[in-house]
Structure 1
């Protein structure tokens, strides 16, 4: 009974990491968690409101979202340091999903309901995927396409926030149209000088503080100082828009609904948001876990993100993800456990219940500056330059993802990024790297003759390396390359396949090998394999390929195969220039 109880308790702790933290909580952590939580809340409040407006929602929903997602992740999330909340990379995706479902800017209450439904969908998708151990789907976004996607997103957000930063609004959709509308507004004199000054000073202040004094909460400083300026100098009378008094009280439990006709669009948006949130969370979790000597629990992370989104969705919130900047703030201030997020959530709830007037003087241009600063942190121009210098193909993929987001929109952009990542994997399988090997003086082993054109060769032998599993997609390429080798070497006796990189052989490739071996045998050439992995060798035997390929032509190492060839032919190593 005790053993079964212990096993059940262990499973429960694995499903509810927050429970395990409570059981093993140390009193020495409490002060650090409380301080880190209070500092974190000072960042969460202005960012939450700014990112809510980026998503096309009332600012208050950003605070509702922050409270519930922090509590949800504290219970179900495995990481003791990750901080979830409204995110700048998800805001445009949320807006792109719900905006077409609203009529003529729509009703704010309806927009909140759709965003909450979207959060619940994201939460269910993530939770189910985590329970089904689908954490690997985060790999569908390769690093180059992530870089391009985020660069495009940064540009889109930047251009979209310029009117708010300048104290006016535009009625346009899409990067090009919004850019034209902003330029037109500036040309027509729509810029409010006072609002633009507040916005620009806030933006410059945030960027400088983040660079020069990274431990100082730059966003909080900008929000507090700009709010004081609005209050002391009555800048509202000069046309500077502010948030105003927030609704008082804790967000009510609400079951979001959507019409059946709206479900397909919401599902598409939820899939895209889930993928971006998962990729962002995995990369952030991996980097912070490495620094702390911890292990990333990918599937449980999906459950944690799912729980956070479901909790937010049932309390008028919208989809959330992990934030690297907020996580860094928590870590820098000594966070030891998920209690940090709970303290942050309680602090925000107390503001809503006891002091909703606290945010009434926060100027909209400052919120625009907060969003632009976040957008600039998304862009990674240095990584783009590295791709240009290191691998032009992946630079092209990155630029395609960038243009997809910038020109076609956020949701099409993420679909393009995923498709490009998958196509790039298929391209590598379809046309893998292939080369011949030779002996290089004073370097043990055999080496690529492309890199070492003076490598010595054995007459009558070609050592051929094919760097991919041998499957239906590349079987024709393998076949054609081997036949080309025969045509290029009239004296050829053996085609020795350096098979260590070949991790699989499917039935299509097996049929190809059988026909190829018959063709080679007719010309007096043997197909030989070395270093074929045991599971792959087992498949070769299951396909009965040894009926045509001589069983003696499978060698454990390249050296063993070469020794056998030299023993049967008497060949010696020669320079390519020797006759």
Structure 2
């Protein structure tokens, strides 16, 4: 029983729910609903489906994620990043039949959901751990800029057709120069944005709701929609989604399977980064495997309730956060509000101007931008700062999904570089300091004649094995005295693969040809077990594996009694 409860984090959230959170979650859910409706309709149409199905793909996934999702405030629903994939599958196969298109999209959601759940159960959520803080900052700053740019056409009161942030900026600039700006819409949008930002410092005031209600009232009372062609949300479609199994033919199976897997890949990349980033911002922990299960459950219910593949939202999540969301009850309230609008009040938001909605999203995007901590990172480690800037540029220039790919590629490259060319050091004995230390940090450190203490600060694997051999031989070549022993201080070595094992064997043979013994000190038992399987333990000899560097030094001095060496601690103990 407890095993299954683990997969339902929403139950724990609601069992431990604090009454003080209720007003915040209800208010944030109502504010969120003003974004969910237009976004759902827009992304459904962009996916080649009737607009109402975007609302269906909003309601049920939010309810499912509230039960299965681990993130406190992540908002799920139709997403622009998935629209092109869905469109590319349903349009050629549906033949212009909207109901057939809905069925195909529903099956894509089921495929996507199944992929997510299997990945979560298999524990593949560890991929999110590849993204360091600077990379996450770069990604989120890029998302903020991309979201902000996407809302500028609505703010200026016109529409554009372009792909990518840079092309969008060019198209927006061209439209402004051509005089296509609707100045009334722009005034509404800027007024809404100014109201939100000015009221932010008053934490008790619902700044977003005040701004949106004010803009809607002004448009309705002054009839600005008809008089000045201000684009409005308009009446919502009526009706709630019903349960339906999206049966498709065998001829459609392959493209739907491919499309469902593709949407799962894109949604996972986007959601994993967003979830991890918000967990860090809120100081909470999110299980990435549970995140996959929650996303999978949301897609499954979307597929069974006339929806289509969904993902997390980089624009609606910050709106929920800015509105004061505390838990996933915000999403539940938002979903119920959309359901209420469809049933009882489809005309309630008909006078809501698109420019005001754009202002809400822009304000939320501004709140995503991280500058302060990046300044700190620049002061303490500049290369990580520039890594963040590259990720930011990737998202801003290439778009969100290619930007995520670039961020992950950079993260992997960063990890491999640290392991490929790690730090190593020759150790010596510094007067008055216990232990053996890097002679570059302690220039006055004394070296024991004929003994090279060489520390390798990384696991040994195929990518750095030759480098390890080169550095070890270089340490021997630069010894001020003829070398008898090379002792590898191996405490940082947490793993050895077959390639590295063979390279160690080659190093031992090269050293033996020069009359030098290869030894290891402080080697961890699991790594030592691997060396035994590789035959290295027998090749080097058990007596040349030491528990500590001190033990290796003592053994060396005992065997090589002709070496003249007096330790400062020995002199101190003798009172000299």
Q: TM-score, length-normalised on structure 2?
A: 0.84
2:408 pairs with 1:414? no
2:38 pairs with 1:67? no
**For the structure 1 residues 148 and 298, does the alpha-carbon distance in structure 2 shift closer, same or farther, using more than 3 Å as the test?**
closer
Among 203, 212, 218, the residue aligned to 2:207: 218
Q: Could you say which residue in structure 2 is the equivalent of 1:449?
A: 439
How far is 1:116 from its partner?
Answer: 5.5
Check the 8 A contact 1:254/1:316 in 2, yes or no.
no
How far is 1:365 from its partner?
Answer: 0.9
How far is 1:265 from its partner?
Answer: 5.1
Q: Could you say which residue in structure 2 is the equivalent of 1:522?
A: 513
Check the 8 A contact 2:220/2:351 in 1, yes or no.
yes
**Unpaired segments of 5 or more residues in structure 1?**
1-8, 575-579
C-alpha RMSD of the superposition: 3.4
Q: 2:279 & 2:97 partners in 1: Cα distance?
A: 34
**For the structure 1 residues 102 and 239, does the alpha-carbon distance in structure 2 shift closer, same or farther, using more than 3 Å as the test?**
farther
Q: Could you say which residue in structure 2 is the equivalent of 1:565?
A: 556
Q: Which moved more, 1:300-309 or 1:338-347?
A: 338-347
2:179 pairs with 1:180? no
Q: Could you say which residue in structure 1 is the equivalent of 2:224?
A: 235
Q: Which moved more, 1:485-494 or 1:444-453?
A: 444-453
Q: Could you say which residue in structure 1 is the equivalent of 2:572?
A: none
**For the structure 1 residues 124 and 382, does the alpha-carbon distance in structure 2 shift closer, same or farther, using more than 3 Å as the test?**
farther
Q: How many positions carry a matched residue from both structures?
A: 548
**Unpaired segments of 5 or more residues in structure 2?**
569-576
How far is 1:339 from its partner?
Answer: 5.6
Q: Could you say which residue in structure 2 is the equivalent of 1:577?
A: none
Q: Could you say which residue in structure 1 is the equivalent of 2:34?
A: 46
- Secondary structure, aligned partner of 1:356: coil
Q: Could you say which residue in structure 1 is the equivalent of 2:85?
A: 97
How far is 1:462 from its partner?
Answer: 2.8
1:152-189 per-position Cα deviation (integer Å, ceiling 9, x unaligned)? 33322222221111001112222222111111111111
Q: Which moved more, 1:29-38 or 1:180-189?
A: 29-38
**For the structure 1 residues 177 and 21, does the alpha-carbon distance in structure 2 shift closer, same or farther, using more than 3 Å as the test?**
closer
Among 319, 335, 349, the residue aligned to 2:339: 349
Check the 8 A contact 1:92/1:410 in 2, yes or no.
no
1:387-432 per-position Cα deviation (integer Å, ceiling 9, x unaligned)? 4443344344433333333333333222222222222222222212
**For the structure 1 residues 145 and 343, does the alpha-carbon distance in structure 2 shift closer, same or farther, using more than 3 Å as the test?**
closer
1:285-344 per-position Cα deviation (integer Å, ceiling 9, x unaligned)? 466574xxxx65443332122212322343435523384663686665xx6xx6665444
2:278 pairs with 1:284? yes
Q: Which moved more, 1:529-538 or 1:300-309?
A: 300-309
Q: 1:365 & 1:21 partners in 2: Cα distance?
A: 36
1:43-100 per-position Cα deviation (integer Å, ceiling 9, x unaligned)? 2212323544774478766654442123212333356xx134247xx84422453465
Q: Which moved more, 1:563-572 or 1:551-560?
A: 563-572
Check the 8 A contact 2:29/2:330 in 1, yes or no.
no
- What does 1:87-236 align with in structure 2 at a 5 Å threshold? 91-98=79-86, 119-210=109-200, 212-236=201-225
1:469-488 per-position Cα deviation (integer Å, ceiling 9, x unaligned)? 11111110101111111221
Q: Could you say which residue in structure 1 is the equivalent of 2:571?
A: none
2:5 pairs with 1:10? no
Q: TM-score, length-normalised on structure 1?
A: 0.83
How far is 1:503 from its partner?
Answer: 0.7
1:513-558 per-position Cα deviation (integer Å, ceiling 9, x unaligned)? 1121121122232222111001111111222213332322211112
Check the 8 A contact 2:33/2:334 in 1, yes or no.
no
- What does 1:459-470 align with in structure 2 at a 5 Å threshold? 459-470=449-460
Q: 1:215 & 1:526 partners in 2: Cα distance?
A: 73
- Secondary structure, aligned partner of 2:151: helix
**For the structure 1 residues 195 and 474, does the alpha-carbon distance in structure 2 shift closer, same or farther, using more than 3 Å as the test?**
same
- Secondary structure, aligned partner of 2:117: helix
- What does 1:419-430 align with in structure 2 at a 5 Å threshold? 419-430=409-420
Q: Could you say which residue in structure 2 is the equivalent of 1:364?
A: 354
Q: Which moved more, 1:235-244 or 1:174-183?
A: 174-183
Among 521, 544, 556, the residue aligned to 1:553: 544
**For the structure 1 residues 168 and 303, does the alpha-carbon distance in structure 2 shift closer, same or farther, using more than 3 Å as the test?**
same
Q: Which moved more, 1:121-130 or 1:352-361?
A: 121-130
